[in-house]
């Protein structure tokens, strides 16, 4: 089997093979996907007992998804877990350096490939569903990102605030999370950005929200899956590997920008009014000289 970082994950292969599975094999697939990847790391007897399916049926199932036996399935799942924790130092040892003579153009070419992969892996129906949730004015939207990805959550929240009300960018300090969680209603939306080298605290946060508040949870992650995805209603798995020591946020930013435009155009009349009202207040703030910024002041 090829390295997990350059091939499809077990989760993806299970979904691709779903139409070919028998009733017994679907039980196995559902059990693994429900507690991915940990259910697949149980021994074969435990998985058989949990699903009520025989060990030979499990062996046939793993063969259908392209594994050379149950041990090979577990080896690949462990490799996925390790890949999800890879640091830039780990990645540099296995990546192809960008050519220094034409660095910028070659790097942009790699990003173009990542963007095309994103278009192919995020269904239009899923994008439409996310945009509808974010555009619904009756729902409050709570956003949060990880150590690096919180800048993406911040970028989205800044734009959404100008489009509609009820936008809350949660602080990165877990001590402040209870204030937001207590404000959440069942109809609200929680959007979490979490890419490899995941924030473990997000999994506990998502679990708490799912169990106590019932809000809709969206997790934007990568193909190795943030642990928070186990408690999500919607999972967006984006490509992040540009073949360098550093994962790229290009696909995440493209998705966010597309959502901003789509949400703003859902009710452009309301968006336009809010932006005008917003700017009217902003320009009236003390020390804000809009005429000077526009170059309309006579300096003579």
Q: Which of 221, 258, 257, 254 is nearest to 237 (CA)?
A: 221
Q: Which residues contact 246 (CB under 8 A, 6 or more apart)?
A: 88, 91
CATH code 1.10.10.10 region(s) in the chain: 4-83
Fold that domain 107-281 belongs to in CATH: Rossmann fold (3.40.50)
pLDDT of residue 300: 46
Query: Mean pLDDT in the chain?
Result: 87
pLDDT at 8: 81
Distance, CA of 117 to CA of 243 (rounded, Å):
14
Helix orientation angle between 55-64 and 44-51, rounded to the nearest 10 degrees: 100
pLDDT tens digits, one per residue of 31-80:
888 778 788 888 899 899 888 889 999 999 999 999 999 999 988 888 87
pLDDT score of 293: 59
Calculate the CA 136 to chain-centre distance: 20
Domain with CATH 3.40.50.10490 in the chain: 107-281
pLDDT tens-digit readout, 231-283 = 999 989 899 988 887 889 999 999 999 999 999 999 999 999 999 999 999 88
Q: Is 4 exposed, middle or buried (0-12, 13-18, 19+ CB in 10 A)?
A: buried
pTM assigned to the model: 0.72
Do 95 and 243 contact (CB within 8 A), yes or no?
A: yes
4-83: in CATH 1.10.10.10: yes
Between CA 40 and CA 55 the distance in angstroms is: 13
177-222: pLDDT as tens digits: 999 999 999 999 999 999 988 998 999 999 999 999 999 999 999 8
| DSSP string of the chain, one letter each residue | ---GGGS--HHHHHHHTGGG--HHHHHHHHHHHHTTTGGGGS-HHHHHHHHT--HHHHHHHHHHTT-SSHHHHHHHHHHHHHHTT--HHHHHTTSPPPPSTTHHHHHHHHHHHHHHHHHHHS-HHHHHHHHHHHH-TTS-EEEEE-TTTHHHHHHHHHHHHHH-S-EEE--SSGGGHHHHHHH--TT-EEEEE--SS--HHHHHHHHHHHHHT--EEEEEEETT--GGGGG-SEEEEE----SSSS---HHHHHHHHHHHHHHHHHTHHHHHHHHHHHHHHHHTSTT--HHHHTT-S---
**242 near 114, Cβ under 8 Å?**
yes
């Amino acid at each position: 089997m090829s390295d997990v970082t350059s091939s499809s994950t077990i989760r993806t292969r299970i979904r691709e093979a779903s139409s070919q599975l028998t009733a017994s094999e679907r039980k196995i697939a559902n059990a693994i996907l429900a507690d991915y990847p940990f259910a697949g790391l149980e021994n074969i007897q435990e998985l058989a007992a949990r699903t009520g399916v025989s060990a030979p049926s499990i062996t046939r199932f793993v063969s259908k998804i392209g594994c050379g036996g149950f041990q090979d399935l577990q080896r690949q799942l462990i490799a996925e877990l390790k890949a999800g924790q890879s640091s830039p130092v780990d990645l540099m040892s296995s990546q192809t350096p960008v050519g220094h003579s034409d660095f910028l153009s070659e790097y942009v070419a790699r990003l173009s490939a990542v963007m095309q992969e994103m278009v192919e892996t995020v269904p239009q129906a899923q994008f439409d569903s996310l945009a509808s949730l974010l555009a619904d004015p009756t729902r409050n939207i709570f956003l949060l990102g990880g150590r690096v990805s919180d800048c993406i959550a911040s970028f989205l929240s800044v734009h959404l605030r100008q489009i509609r009300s009820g936008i809350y960018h949660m602080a990165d300090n877990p001590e402040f999370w209870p204030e937001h969680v207590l404000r959440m209603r069942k109809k609200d939306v929680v959007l979490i950005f979490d890419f490899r080298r995941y924030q473990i605290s997000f999994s506990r946060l998502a679990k708490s929200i799912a169990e106590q508040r019932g809000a809709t949870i969206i997790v934007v992650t990568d193909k190795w899956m943030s642990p928070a995805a186990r408690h999500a209603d919607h999972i967006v798995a984006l490509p992040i590997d540009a073949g360098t020591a550093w994962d790229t946020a290009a696909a995440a930013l493209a998705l966010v920008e597309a959502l901003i435009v789509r949400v703003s155009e859902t009710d452009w009349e309301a968006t336009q009014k809010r932006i005008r009202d917003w700017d009217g207040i902003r320009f009236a703030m003390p020390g804000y000289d809009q005429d000077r910024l526009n170059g309309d002041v006579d300096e003579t």
